[in-house]
Chain A
């Protein structure tokens, strides 16, 4: 469930500048913004937080639609999740 949720968070944050603000400025509380059955484990949040924030800070505004998938996949691969 963690990996699927993380992918969804990344895809949303890449495509939607408004959602990206949640990742950038409210990541500690990200679970408050996610449906109960999809919530992330606390240790996962700690493990991915810094990399995700750093990646999101470098994204162009906006990310053009034809680049959403490639950029989302590239960010996901940097997280080195099991």
Chain B
């Protein structure tokens, strides 16, 4: 059992039903937080929340598609109604479509990716941060190595992840005096369903792993402890910062 760094904190984790998000839900709950697992996959989200509850963790499920403005508004309205505040917001949900080169990317693929990853993160900040204004809080956004350096086959994805870095820095300035800290995790290749799915083949995933200085993909449980730390009072002077977790990929 982890230390109770986050005792009595109210936390939301978007995209919490799978991969990195699910591991963050576990880490925050084991650190003492009451966690709302938010995901658009209701059957899976409900079943994961039940599994956590079986293990005596305080996790509840609420459906949320971050690309839909009305859902985001209703979601945070309901959080406010139930808890009267929010202490931690983890903007983890996102998609990656392999749309080819910029000349091959359709407007649909562009809009869908921006609408989910960038606008979705923006909407969660817009409607979630007001719930932190009374007591302070911590927001963690999720970028990617693709947001820092160019990557093939997914221009829209890289643009959203670069945008999330800028969103993090700007919003951190806006709330620096309000005890609301905004930071950003920049993961490299992490072994999740989503990254294996978007890589497109086992062979390519393994090839990518070999290109990492540590020669392996990361694991979700190698991301979650950093998130818990950043949400805790131990990180009280950290805001507007990026945290690369990538086995050395961006050191090359």
Taking Cβ atoms with an 8 Å cutoff, the residues of A that contact B are 15-22, 24-26, 33-35, 61-62, 64-65
Contacts and interface: CB of A to CB of B under 8 A. Distances in A.
Contacts of B96: 17-18
25 contacts: A15-B200, A16-B97, A16-B198, A17-B194, A17-B197, A17-B198, A18-B95, A18-B98, A18-B113, A18-B198, A19-B97, A20-B197, A26-B65, A34-B108, A35-B106, A35-B107, A35-B108, A61-B197, A62-B196, A62-B197, A62-B200, A62-B201, A62-B202, A64-B202, A65-B200
Contacts of B95: 18, 21
B199 interface: yes
Contacts of A19: 97, 109
Nearest to B205: A62
Nearest to B194: A17
A19 B106 CA distance: 12
A28 B17 CA distance: 22
B154 to A, nearest CB: 8
A16 B196 CA distance: 11
A62 B197 CA distance: 4
A35 B106 CA distance: 9
Given A16-B200, A33-B112, 5 more contacts: A16-B198, A18-B97, A61-B196, A64-B202, A65-B201
A62 B199 contact: yes
A77 to B, nearest CB: 24
B40 interface: yes
Interface string B169-200: 00000000000000000000000011011111
B41 interface: yes
Contacts of B197: 17-18, 20, 61-62
Contact of A64 (B194, B198, B201): B201
Given A16-B97, A35-B106, A61-B193, A22 B112 contact: yes
Interface in B200-223: 200-202
B110 to A, nearest CB: 11
